[in-house]
Amino acid sequence: MITLKNEAQIESMRQAGKLLYEVLQAVKAAVQPGVTTLELNDMAEKLIRDGGAVPSFLGYEGFPASLCTSINDVVVHGIPSREDVLREGSLLSVDCGLQLHGWQADSALTVGVGRISPVHRKLLETAERCFFEGAARAVAGLRLGDIGAAVEAEAVRNGFTVVHDLSGHGIGREMHEDPYVYNFGFSGRGLQLRKGMTLAIEPMVCAKDWHVTSDEDGWFVRTCDGGWAAHYEHTVAILEGRKPELLTLPGYVWKEDS
């Protein structure tokens, strides 16, 4: 079921989104060679709890941490560990969710550890641009297919691919609500978007082929061909007649609107 949020509810999600933005910015600033993914997780969890919120991922379907840390060929759902010491040249995707006063926020970004290769720089920048291309179509009256088509077109334009087996989602009181928000699709097709929908749009972009496989533990999702991947996600609120508000990127102003 798709739930539409009123202005008061969106304000609650805005507060959750702002806290999550601060958590992820702190995690991003701490990324450097020699740091373990467990240290990043512990930092995120403390900041979430200090902000009066609850980590959404911890215990979700048995996930054992507050942060997903996915390195190189791991696309999503990597589990933080003291064994995973970040190395120069790696790509680290961090995905985090929190619940504040009963409302969820979900956001992810990919960071280069120290110096990274030009192609990997391009990969993570493309994942970000894919998000903005898709999110720009998250406007009341347009359709889910408009978002997905724009995301995939941007990836393909840059010589990359998007994962088809995983998607974004509605979000609100629950971390995962309807609808699925695919990173591919046909313009003008699919569910019509309405004011008050809140969506997590999250392109997962692969350097090579997009097919993925899960490790035996059921968590770490990796590319089958070992190519590296980047992930970028924000929680957005759909508005009438203009581009969405990015709840997990407070203060963001769309350039065309200014």
77-80 long-range contacts, CB within 8 A, separation 24+: 77/214, 77/219, 77/220, 77/221, 78/37, 78/219, 78/220, 79/217, 79/219, 79/220, 80/36, 80/37, 80/38, 80/40, 80/41
Cβ closer to Mg ion: 2 or 85? 2
Q: What are phi and psi of 153, to 5 degrees?
A: -60, -40
Cβ closer to Mg ion: 95 or 154? 95
The CB density around residue 38, as the number of other CB atoms within 10 Å, is 18
Least distance between Mg ion and beta carbon 241 (Å):
26
State the first-to-last Cα distance of the chain, in angstroms, to the nearest integer: 35
Q: What are phi and psi of 241, to 5 degrees?
A: 75, 5
Cβ closer to Mg ion: 88 or 178? 178
Q: Measured between alpha carbons, how far is 220 from 69 in angstroms, rounded to an integer?
A: 9
Helix, coil or strand: residue 41: helix
Distance of CA 232 to the CA centre of its chain: 4
Q: Which helix (H) or strand (E) holds 11?
A: helix 7-30
Cβ closer to Mg ion: 145 or 170? 170
Cβ closer to Mg ion: 89 or 179? 179
Residues that bind Mg ion (CB under 5 A): 95, 106, 108, 200, 202, 233
Least distance between Mg ion and beta carbon 158 (Å):
22
User: Tokens in use for 203?
Assistant: 């392109």
Cβ closer to Mg ion: 244 or 253? 244
Cβ closer to Mg ion: 180 or 252? 180
Q: Measured between alpha carbons, how far is 65 from 153 in angstroms, rounded to an integer?
A: 33
Least distance between Mg ion and beta carbon 67 (Å):
10
Q: Which helix (H) or strand (E) holds 44?
A: helix 37-50
Least distance between Mg ion and beta carbon 144 (Å):
15
Least distance between Mg ion and beta carbon 216 (Å):
23
